[in-house]
Amino acid sequence: MSSEKDFSEIVSGLAKKRGFYWGPSPEIYGGSAGFYDLGPLGKLLKNRLENVIRTSFVKANFWEVECPTVSPEIVWKASGHLDGFIDPLTKCTKCEQVYRADNLVEELADGESLKGLSLEEMTSRIQELGIQCPKCKSELGSVEQYNLMLKTTLGLDQTAYMRPETATSTYLLFRRLLTFFRDKLPAMVFQIGNAYRNEISPRQGMLRLREFTQVEGQIFILDADEMNWAPYEEVKTETLPLLTYQSQESGSEDVQKVALEQAVKKGYFQKPAYAWCVWLAHKIFSGMGFDDSNMRLRQHLPTERAHYAADAWDVELHTKSFGWVECCGIHDRGNYDLSRHQEFSKQKLSVKVDKKPVVPNVLEIAFGVERPLFCLIDNCYDVNEKGEVWLRFPPHLAPIQAAVFPLMGKEELVGPAAEIYHDILDSGLVTQLDQGGSIGRRYRRQDEIGTPFCITVDYDTLEDDTVTLRERDSMQQVRIKRSEVVPVLHQLVKREITFSSLTT
């Protein structure tokens, strides 16, 4: 466990040193836990992840929307967040330090859990277990509910909350969306935007944030379509790495690679449309650089599920820092959300099926962008025995895709190098012109930030119009024509060709 914690510090150390992320923010005022700034490379990386996410949803026929991040209290009353989005807290009676009661028990009492207990039961369980304030060893106070939403005020006195997820704001658009989709369901939309959770003393850096970018895709769908879903037919032979709740209950962590249609046949998924959502989440995370060696789909145990949820699976990513990390939830929410908003808004949120009003169901894919971002840096981190570090990002995700070096800072070399740099930039890739220090030092700097390709302009360039192209992972070099630099880079970044195909 201690070595795992050290690794997360190594990752964060590199991330801070090279400008991926900084914090807690604002650093010069001591920082508030759960807030981070993205540096230039972190922002580029996050943009790349968001591009993968956006493209994947659009290809799957979802439409993007954007809603306000603040909504009045009634919205959160209706959504259930005001009453249900809560953590159990206990405060030390002496030093007044506040703790998450459930986490404290899990950390300090082996095998114990407060899951499913009432507040009174939690309080007496903590006393029975003899758990005291870890800081000053005094008695802990009674367990109380604490709402995780950030409260604010609109105008002089209207209570409002920062959204703790994007989904609710999307549900509120249902009537408008129905018109947009010409009264036809299913309707598929997604949103990428900020959400806020007022976590008590968040730790684990980028994994537990008070402000983060959330992605949520929603399908508004009727019962019949959930069982008869055309996109499922196209992908049903593809396999997914599944960890079912039955395996977990039998104490197994073994992932089974199961074809989608087998999983439906065996009852792991009840509905083809839901199975397709799990497939889509897996596809999005594959695009973000994870494969089945470091990704699994874990089904929630029946005790973990929200009361209205028919089924729930998570995408989990394996990290060297924290082991398996929950990164995405796929939820079958039934018609809970639209029914609640229909009740509270007194607006009709139903459609006609056989001349009767029916409130549609929601299938949902929900995740934050910062977690896969951290997991990717963690997974791509590599170090050799000399202590030299690489970030082995897949080329399509690397913040900087190619760096250009003039061999020396002489005008006759800097000129052509700058021209190549501008050509690459104009072609839509991100590049950097670096003239400082020896070529070896410059390669090392780019390896450390994950730049997959470097181009060096030398005196041969002036003779025969060729440059050296060097690949990060193999450290191999090849001479290519200057006119081929841009097309070859695009093919390499899109993985249409391999570097080794250039060397033979």
Tokens (6 digits) for 244: 């079912």
Site for Zn ion in 60-89 (CB under 5 A): none
136 is a contact residue toward Zn ion (CB under 5 A): yes
Q: Pick the closer one to Zn ion by CB: 133 or 369.
A: 133
For strands 402-406 and 431-433, give the pairing. Answer: parallel
Q: Pick the closer one to Zn ion by CB: 99 or 190.
A: 99
135 is a contact residue toward Zn ion (CB under 5 A): yes
Q: Pick the closer one to Zn ion by CB: 91 or 208.
A: 91
The dihedral through the CA atoms of 250, 251, 255, 260 has a sign that is positive
- From the list 128-136, 215-223, 338-346, 444-452, the region that binds Zn ion by CB under 5 A is 128-136
- From the list 72-80, 96-104, 254-262, 426-434, the region that binds Zn ion by CB under 5 A is 96-104
CB of 240 to Zn ion, least distance (A): 46
Q: Pick the closer one to Zn ion by CB: 97 or 286.
A: 97
CB of 205 to Zn ion, least distance (A): 25
- From the list 94-102, 359-367, 422-430, 446-454, the region that binds Zn ion by CB under 5 A is 94-102
95 is a contact residue toward Zn ion (CB under 5 A): yes
Residues 6+ apart with CB under 8 A from 4: 320, 321, 322, 323
Would you call the peptide bond into 164 cis, given omega within 30 degrees of 0 as the criterion?
no
CA dihedral 348, 351, 357, 362 (to 10 degrees): -90
- From the list 92-100, 179-187, 382-390, 409-417, the region that binds Zn ion by CB under 5 A is 92-100
Q: Pick the closer one to Zn ion by CB: 92 or 131.
A: 92
CB of 94 to Zn ion, least distance (A): 5
CB of 123 to Zn ion, least distance (A): 16
Please, is 470 exposed, middle or buried when counting C-beta atoms within 10 Å of its C-beta (0-12, 13-18, 19+)?
buried
Q: Please tell me the distance from the alpha carbon of residue 301 to that of residue 244, in angstroms, as a whole number.
A: 9
CB of 105 to Zn ion, least distance (A): 16
CB of 394 to Zn ion, least distance (A): 47
Q: Pick the closer one to Zn ion by CB: 96 or 291.
A: 96
Secondary structure of residue 215 in the 3-state scheme = strand
In the list 138, 262, 270, 345, the residue contacting Zn ion (rule: CB under 5 A) is 138
104 is a contact residue toward Zn ion (CB under 5 A): no
Q: Pick the closer one to Zn ion by CB: 95 or 462.
A: 95
In order, the DSSP letters of 285-305 are: HHHTT--TTTEEEEEPPGGGS
Q: Please tell me the distance from the alpha carbon of residue 237 to that of residue 136, in angstroms, as a whole number.
A: 58
Tokens (6 digits) for 495: 């993985």
Site for Zn ion in 301-320 (CB under 5 A): none
133 is a contact residue toward Zn ion (CB under 5 A): yes
Site for Zn ion in 340-369 (CB under 5 A): none
Tell me the C-alpha to C-alpha distance, in Å, between residue 2 and each of 9, 112, 320, 378: 11, 22, 12, 16
What's the chain's Rg over C-alpha atoms? 26
Tokens (6 digits) for 319: 């990290």
92 is a contact residue toward Zn ion (CB under 5 A): yes
Cβ pair 362, 337 in contact under 8 A: yes
Beta bridge partners of 406: 457
- From the list 136-144, 153-161, 286-294, 413-421, the region that binds Zn ion by CB under 5 A is 136-144
The dihedral through the CA atoms of 35, 40, 45, 48 has a sign that is positive
462 is a contact residue toward Zn ion (CB under 5 A): no
φ, ψ dihedrals at 309, nearest 5° = -80, 125
The number of residues in the chain equals 504
Q: Pick the closer one to Zn ion by CB: 54 or 94.
A: 94
Residues 6+ apart with CB under 8 A from 419: none
- From the list 75-83, 130-138, 345-353, 470-478, the region that binds Zn ion by CB under 5 A is 130-138
CB of 99 to Zn ion, least distance (A): 9
Residues that bind Zn ion (CB under 5 A): 92, 94-95, 97, 133, 135-136, 138
